[in-house]
Structure formats: structure tokens, C-alpha cells
Amino acid sequence: MERVTLSPASCKPVDILARTLWGEAREDSVRGKEAVAAVVVNRVRHARAGRAVWWGRTIPDVCLKPDQFSCWSTPSGGCPDAMAVLLDDPCLAVCVRIARRAVAGVLEDPTGGATCYHARSVHPRWAWSRIPSAEIGEHIFYTIVE
């Protein structure tokens, strides 16, 4: 398969979300990937309802918001691995199927409406006083609307 140079700005919502899932949860189960996708969708829903607008009103805006998803938080503002992964990568293919369902509005939310999460391996300060809404795969999810 021919390599195509992509930039986040040139990608459509399904592609950006799929690459975000690949970058954030490629080692996780399908349900874990679905949970991360649900967080993105929940953030868009909150923004469109006039709450927590700062996250962004579209899937690409939410995914690419600085300092929100670690796979995009590099000094250059991009995720070289996620942008370079080929479309024939089996894990990316799973992520694309999940992203299509999320964009179409038919993805079940296994997180209980979560808007934030972190990997089990870290304990960020923002989560210290929060009660998780779900624990799925390698991530802990929280419903936070500020």
C-alpha cells in the first residue's frame, strides 16, 4: 500500500476519530476503544448543548484540542504514529468501524456519559477527587462538565 502523508487538518471526522482511537487505545479491547470514542462524542454533545464549549463543537476539534488526548500532544502538535499508520492496519480498521458508528450517532456509550478518562497507569491531579463513572479496559472514565 502506498504511503500517503496526512496532516490532522486534512482529515475527515471518521479518520481523525479512528486515528485518535488508534493512538489512545490501540492495545485495548473493542469495548475500550468504543469507550474512548464515547468520550469524544460526549464532549461534542456537551458543547453543542452550550456546556463545556471549550472542548470543541466537532469531532476533529475535540480530538485535536491541545493537551486533551495524549496521542496528539507532541511538541509539533501531531501524532506521527497515528498519522502514519496505513489504512490496511488491522487495528486501524477496527478503529474506523467504531468511528463510523460514533459519527453516525449509533455507538452505544459504555461509560455512563463520561467526558474524561485516563490510563490506569497514571493518576492525574484532576482525577484525585472524582468518582469514576466506568472502568473499561486500560482506562478509568469520569463524567465532568465544567
State the cell numbers at 138: 486500560
> CATH number of the domain at 11-111, out of 1.10.1760, 1.10.10, 3.40.50, 1.10.1660?
1.10.10
Looking at the chain, the number of H-run helices and the number of E-run strands are 5, 3
What confidence score (pLDDT) does residue 53 get?
78
- As a dihedral over the C-alpha atoms of residue 143, residue 74, residue 84, residue 18, rounded to 10 degrees, the angle is 10
pLDDT over 60 (residue 108): yes
**Annotated domain spans of the chain:** 11-111
Start-to-end CA distance of the chain, whole Å, equals: 44
Round to whole Å and give the CA distance between 25 and 95.
Answer: 9
The predicted-structure confidence for 61-99, as pLDDT tens digits, reads as follows 999 888 888 888 765 445 557 666 667 788 889 999 999
